[in-house]
């Protein structure tokens, strides 16, 4: 199984230091929520965020939204051949269920994330777990999923293409974890870098996380299709002619 990890993602609820800032309180009131329940979001909290440590890498839930939209819209995910996780800047781990459809409307995505941070789990009407959040570092996640290789994508990596990053690392069974940063600027932290077997820079222009994800997952799909590897579910669908 191929794995995508969106790491150090700029996704969190408003931290207590700025909970009483007018920008935070006004936005919470508009949403009908307590300030502590709302997502930290530079679009609304720019003025309040200047007081926060490391604020240039925080408060960008839109990056996670785009990254998830990109990953969850690929045939690789739709065919059950991709696991997706989000590791946040504050060491929370979000597990995404197979076949999850993420809301395309940012307004609905925001509501979903608010519920997730509050209730720690999102279930379907039938009780199936769709998303879960728990405390844990990226190292905890890598230890739990034990991929054969952990490959970072970052401008600090060795020069290469997405095709090369995939061909050199993806096992024939698709087993490999690709790690893409979910923050607006800067590079992976030292603790993330330590977990990576290798890091590739797939463009000489800095790319948004979602563009990197689109390219790497597309190359994974091409690589696996060329090897004639399909998921069992896919095989079953073909057999029943659907």
Q: Which is nearer to a copy of itself, 135 or 168 (CB)?
A: 168
Q: Which is nearer to a copy of itself, 72 or 122 (CB)?
A: 72
CB of 217 to a copy of itself, least distance (A): 9
The verdict on 63 binding a copy of itself (CB under 8 A) reads yes
Binding mask 12-51 for a copy of itself (x = CB under 8 A): ------------------x----------xxxx-------
Among 8, 66, 113, 195, binds a copy of itself (CB under 8 A): 66
- Is 186 a known ligand-binding residue? yes
Interface with a copy of itself in residues 85-114 (CB under 8 A): 104-108
- Is 181 a known ligand-binding residue? yes
The token pair at 173 is 């069974």
DSSP the chain: -EEEEEEEES--BPPGGGTT-HHHHHHHHHHTS-GGGSBP-HHHHHHHHTTSTTGGGS--HHHHHHHHHHHHTSHHHHTT-EEEEEEETTSEEEEE-TT----SSHHHHHHHHHHHHHHSEEE-TTS-EEEEEEE--HHHHHHHH--S-EEEEEEEEEE--HHHHHHTT--TT--EEEEEE-SSSS---HHHHTT-SEEEE--SS---HHHHHHHHHHHHHHHHHHTT---HHHHHHHHTT-
The verdict on 218 binding a copy of itself (CB under 8 A) reads yes
The verdict on 78 binding a copy of itself (CB under 8 A) reads yes
The verdict on 215 binding a copy of itself (CB under 8 A) reads yes
The verdict on 242 binding a copy of itself (CB under 8 A) reads no
| Contacting positions for a copy of itself (CB under 8 A) | 30, 41-44, 60, 62-63, 66, 69-70, 73-75, 78-79, 104-108, 203, 205, 207-208, 210-211, 214-215, 218
């Amino acid at each position: 199984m191929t794995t995508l990890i969106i790491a150090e993602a700029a996704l969190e609820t408003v931290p207590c230091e700025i909970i009483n800032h007018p920008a935070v309180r006004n936005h919470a009131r508009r949403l009908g929520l307590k300030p502590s329940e709302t997502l930290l979001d530079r679009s609304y909290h720019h003025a309040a965020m200047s007081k926060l440590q490391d604020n240039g890498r925080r408060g960008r839930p839109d990056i996670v939204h785009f990254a998830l939209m990109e990953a969850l819209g690929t045939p690789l995910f739709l065919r059950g051949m991709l696991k997706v996780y989000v590791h946040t800047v504050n060491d929370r781990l979000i597990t995404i269920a197979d076949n999850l459809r993420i809301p395309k409307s940012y307004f609905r995505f925001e509501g979903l994330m608010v519920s997730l941070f509050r209730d720690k789990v999102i279930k379907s009407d039938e009780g199936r777990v769709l998303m879960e959040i728990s405390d844990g570092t990226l190292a905890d996640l890598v230890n739990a999923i034990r991929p054969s290789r952990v490959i970072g994508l970052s401008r600090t990596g060795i020069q290469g293409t997405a095709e090369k990053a995939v061909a050199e690392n993806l096992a024939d069974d698709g087993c490999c974890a690709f790690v893409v940063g979910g923050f607006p600027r800067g590079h992976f932290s030292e603790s993330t870098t330590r977990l990576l077997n290798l890091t590739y820079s797939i463009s000489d222009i800095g790319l948004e996380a979602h563009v990197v994800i689109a390219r790497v997952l597309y190359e994974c799909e091409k690589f696996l299709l060329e090897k004639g590897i399909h998921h069992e579910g896919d095989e079953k669908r073909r057999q029943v002619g659907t």
